[in-house]
Amino acid sequence: MLKQLQISNYALIDELKVCFGKGFNVITGETGAGKSILLGALGFALGDRSDTNVLYDKDKKCVVEATMDLDETYKPLFEGNDLDFEPECIFRRELSPQKKSRAFINDTPVALQTMKEIGSQLVDIHSQHDSLLLTDADFQLRLLDNIAQNGEVLAEYLSEYGQYNTIKRKLLELKDIATKNTAENDYLKFQLEELEKADLKEGEYADIEQTLSVMENSEEIKSLLVTANGLLEDSETAILGQINELATTLQRMSHLLPDTESLGERIESLKVELKDIAYDLRRREDETQFDEGQLQSLQERYDLLNRLMMKHHLNDFEALIALRDGLQEKVNAFENIDEAIEKAEKELKNSEKCLSKQAKALHDKRCQAAETFSKKVCELVRQLAMPFAVFQVEVESQPQFGNKGSDAIRFLFSANKGIAPDDLSRVASGGELSRLMLSIKSAVSSYNYIPTLIFDEIDTGVSGEVAAKIGTIMQQMGRSLQLISITHLPQVASQAEHHYFIYKDNEGTRTQSHIRVLSRDERITEIAKMLSNDKVTPEALRAAEVLLK
């Protein structure tokens, strides 16, 4: 439930803090006192987009905090959005003087869409114009699925529906390939044959590049190898010769200075390493023997690979191999197209069977819920000065699948005796829609569909006995959820558990809106004003006391 709303620097509100109670709450006050501003601020805190001109003081930021008391059933909702769950949850929105908005849930920054998604499942704000939603087919279906508790079945259906569409798209693509002119396949085969004839091998392009580089510089390489060999062992001053002399000298020295024996051992290790180096240099010198025929062959292969890459507009050899493999897959797919189509058709048929079964389960649950729901709404709406009203929910199976099953939902209504119910959008007036919406929200309140429901003058345009009935219905709704209703009707206000009065304060340099909870005596006075158009007469006070009793 909504525990507390704290508003700073929003529209006509400088600073405001209000705590709401469980059950049925009403808010009253003169027209223009700020009731709609209060709801606007709450919507802002729950993720609604707001006019950037709402700043009361243009030089200060606006902050709105809504504190919710929640039970563990809402923990998956938060965890599904990577948020920590707290029984006391705080939604906070900020709007800076630079018109930059920030959103937080329990002090964690969140995207506005995330805040709105979570907020919409915790608070339902019903404005004066939302009764038109009753004529919206999507709203009707969502409402019925909430009543039928179809969440789990819908999730399974949606998963299968996604697979069904994937298979269907694949089948259409295969059939499209099959109907195309074979000339396209012939061209693909021509390209593939050219690449297969080239006999491409992984890594060969880099190897050829390196070999060609060596071959093209073979004379210089051989000259350097000869020089290196000369320095090591093939000259009068060769390093190995000098090392041998050094080894002899140290061997003689070791007889005279025994502790120099280790130096000779180190020189012997050095001789072994140098001989290995000399051996490798001679081998390299012998291997550096390239003939013109080998060079020409490698150059022709290198040119071929470059031409193929240029022809196919590719920058590297690996992409050329990937192109060849891709062409092979396409050609194979075309050659085995009939088999692939047959396989996809079988998969689609199996998916259709599974989808039909799940759609039937949804249909049956919706029909069962529609019957119970229709009866309940009829009972309620007939209490609101429409004794002959008929309300029906029609659930009709369609031949095609949709993302929520294969049902078309229609709300049918008739307010008059002897008139057959027809589509709600064609037969219900504005006042009838409001009363019908109240009856529907009352009927679904027992299903725990939302913790907090807010009505913004849903009772506009009614009076007398109907107003009293509306108050009674709202009082009953307050037993199942937290209901907050903005009203101008004393018959409704008198039946609430908590009564809040919103008013304007014109003292000071600027008008401000304030709200306060009324004591019992203050409620009597307020309801008396509502009964007698702001003139508090003894008769009005007595009538107010009777209403409160």
State the pLDDT confidence band at 290, using cuts at 50, 70 and 90.
low
Residues in the chain: 549
Q: What tens digit of pLDDT does each residue of 186-224 get?
A: 788 888 888 889 888 988 888 888 877 777 766 677 777
pLDDT attached to residue 243: 81
pLDDT attached to residue 130: 67
| Residue 44 CB contacts under 8 Å (≥ 6 apart), including other chains | 10, 50, 54, 64, 93
Q: What tens digit of pLDDT does each residue of 103-147 get?
A: 999 999 999 999 999 998 899 888 766 666 677 888 889 889 988
* Three-state SS at 188: helix
State the pLDDT confidence band at 378, using cuts at 50, 70 and 90.
very high
Domains delineated in the chain: 1-122+450-518 (3.40.50.300), 183-335 (no CATH)
State the pLDDT confidence band at 1, using cuts at 50, 70 and 90.
very high
Burial 335-369 (b: 16+ CB within 10 A, else e): eebeebbeebeebbeebbeebeebbeebbebbbeb
Q: Quickly count: other Cβ atoms within 10 Å of residue 220's Cβ.
A: 9
496 φ/ψ angles, rounded to the nearest 5 degrees: -80, 155
Q: What tens digit of pLDDT does each residue of 330-360 get?
A: 887 777 778 888 999 999 999 999 999 999 9
Q: Is the pTM of this model over 0.85?
A: no
Average confidence score pLDDT of the chain? 87
Q: What tens digit of pLDDT does each residue of 435-470 get?
A: 888 898 898 887 777 899 999 888 877 777 888 999
206 vs 202, 203, 287, 312, 315, CA distance in Å?
A: 9, 6, 20, 19, 13
